[in-house]
Amino acid sequence: MTLPCRHIASTLTALALSAGLSTAEVMTVETTGQAVATGAKSDAHLHKSALQEALYQAALKGGAQVSGYAALSHSVLTSDVLVIRPDAKILDYAILSEETNAQKSRVTIRAVVGSLDTPPACARRAALTIAPTPPDVDLSPQAPAWLNDLQTRMTAALSQALTKVDGVTSAPAPAPVAAPRQNTGVAAEFDYVALTRGTGPNTNTTTDAGHTTGSGGLPLRTMIKIGAPENTGLSRVLPVDVTLFLTDPSQAVPLRRNQSLNIKLRANTPWQVLNARSLSTRDAVIGQITGAATQMVGDMIDARACQPLAGPLQWANGTLRLPFGRKDGLSRHHLAYTQGRDTPYEILEITKLNDHSVQMRPMDRRRDPSGMAGLTVQFMELK
């Protein structure tokens, strides 16, 4: 997209006005965009061009990044390129007025620009299907024997926690995956891992994080490591490490949460009768472990349901596509904008919306959509 002189002037003004603006701040601005007919086919969409101009001006109010490039040939300057990109995100906008005729279009908007740091603040919340796998429990031989029931208790706690979250459904857990057995020279009937997790070929598809993907939902994996009880002088504590992974095919890296606990089993005092009375109940110990896991699940769901939707555009069958859709919280009114410091700022609109995919086109009708394949775009958060 060619940047006219008025963009450069607006950039300098925005830089001067927003020198102290933090990217974590959110502000409301009003801007006006204009487009004039040139006799091209794109004149049929003058209001789209004017809206894009207004959105560009609004984003500039939050600051801008300026990149300059010069091309030399045999020590002779052949071209000079200036790329100006807004430094703030457009979170939402509303059209205040619009005047369009055959010669020109003028659109005035009120926009919210900045950055949202807290997931609950987002209005575009995805509907999620979570498939919890049976927790992996690594129990020390010195740990209390009654913790062998932890896997069953944790499975029930996670299932109950998922039913209480709005917009979340629970899918059946994938079939258990037999753990690969190392060649230790011990017969299978005497090997601890083989006895507790089974052996045999793994027929499930897994990701890099070891999650099965055949259940139709986002795999949720829970790993619990419990060490031997330790004497700290004042009490006897149980070291517990809880790690959760939530895998999403649209994301290269799964969401991960981890928490380490030191659960007091009993107090150490000189009087044996007090020691006996200070023993933590089994339900209390297991409750602390399951409570930590369910809290992390809630945090992960909030993060996934409100995560920014960004990805590279794909060109297929004459249209630009992205692997996000209605189930991710998108509507036909959502707009996306290009990312990348060296990429001109352009805005795209949705032409077709499905549950898990979307077709898009640039608002600037002069732009060849096929030339945008591979560019990374991000959707506005609220609109």
Q: 273: which DSSP letter?
A: H
Q: Is the separation of the CB atoms in 353 and 317 below 8 Å?
A: no
- Residues 6 or more apart whose CB falls under 8 angstroms from that of 33 comprise 49, 50, 51, 52, 53, 54, 55, 56, 57, 106, 107, 108, 109
Fold of 309-383: Thrombin, subunit H (2.40.10)
Which 3 state secondary structure label does DSSP give 185?
coil
CA atoms within 13 A on the CB side of 263: 30
More confident residue, 333 or 201: 333
Q: What are the backbone dihedrals phi and psi of residue 192, each rounded to the nearest 5 degrees, phi first?
A: -65, -45
| Distances from the Cα of 136 to the Cα of 152, 189, 353, angstroms | 11, 21, 39
pLDDT at residue 315 in the model: 94
Per-residue model confidence as pLDDT tens digits over 66-108: 555 566 666 666 665 555 666 667 777 888 988 988 888 899 9
Copy the structure tokens of residue 354.
């499905």
Q: Is the separation of the CB atoms in 253 and 208 below 8 Å?
A: no
- pLDDT higher than threshold 60 for residue 14: no
From 152, 119, 159, select the one nearest 135 (Cα to Cα). 152
pLDDT at residue 173 in the model: 60
Domain 1-115 coded CATH 3.30.200: no
More confident residue, 309 or 16: 309
Q: What are the backbone dihedrals phi and psi of residue 237, each rounded to the nearest 5 degrees, phi first?
A: -120, 155
SS3 helix, strand, coil % of the chain, rounded to 5? 25, 35, 40
pLDDT at residue 256 in the model: 92
pLDDT at residue 266 in the model: 73
Written as one letter, the residue type at 192 is Y
Per-residue model confidence as pLDDT tens digits over 255-280: 899 999 998 887 655 544 444 444 56
How far apart, in whole angstroms, are the C-alpha atoms of residue 132 and residue 72? Answer: 58
pLDDT at residue 250 in the model: 67
Separation of CA 134 from chain center: 24
Per-residue model confidence as pLDDT tens digits over 332-380: 888 888 887 777 788 888 999 998 889 999 888 888 899 999 999 988 7
pLDDT at residue 248 in the model: 81
What residues does each domain of the chain span? 1-115, 128-305, 309-383
Using H for helix, E for strand and C for coil, what is the string for 216-253? CCEEEEEEEEECCCEECCCEEEEEEEEEEEECCCCCCC
Per-residue model confidence as pLDDT tens digits over 148-175: 889 999 999 999 999 888 888 888 765 5
- Residues 6 or more apart whose CB falls under 8 angstroms from that of 379 comprise 124, 308, 309, 310, 324, 330, 334, 335, 336
CA angle 61, 112, 49 (to 5 degrees): 70
Strand order across the beta sheet in which 89-100 lies = 26-36, 104-114, 89-100
Separation of CA 174 from chain center: 23
- Residues 6 or more apart whose CB falls under 8 angstroms from that of 24 comprise 114, 115, 117
pLDDT at residue 93 in the model: 82
How far apart, in whole angstroms, are the C-alpha atoms of residue 156 and residue 340? Answer: 45
pLDDT band at 221 (very low <50, low <70, confident <90, very high): very high
pLDDT at residue 21 in the model: 39
Per-residue model confidence as pLDDT tens digits over 118-142: 544 566 778 888 999 999 999 999 9
| 328-365 core/surface letters (b: 16 or more CB in 10 A; e: else) | bbbeeebbbbbbeeebebbbbbbeebeeebbbbbbbbb
Copy the structure tokens of residue 182.
């190392």
pLDDT band at 209 (very low <50, low <70, confident <90, very high): very low
Domain spanning 128-305: which CATH class is it, in words? alpha beta
Is this prediction's pTM over 0.85? Answer: no
Per-residue model confidence as pLDDT tens digits over 294-318: 999 988 888 888 777 888 999 999 9
Q: Which helix (H) or strand (E) holds 137?
A: strand 136-139
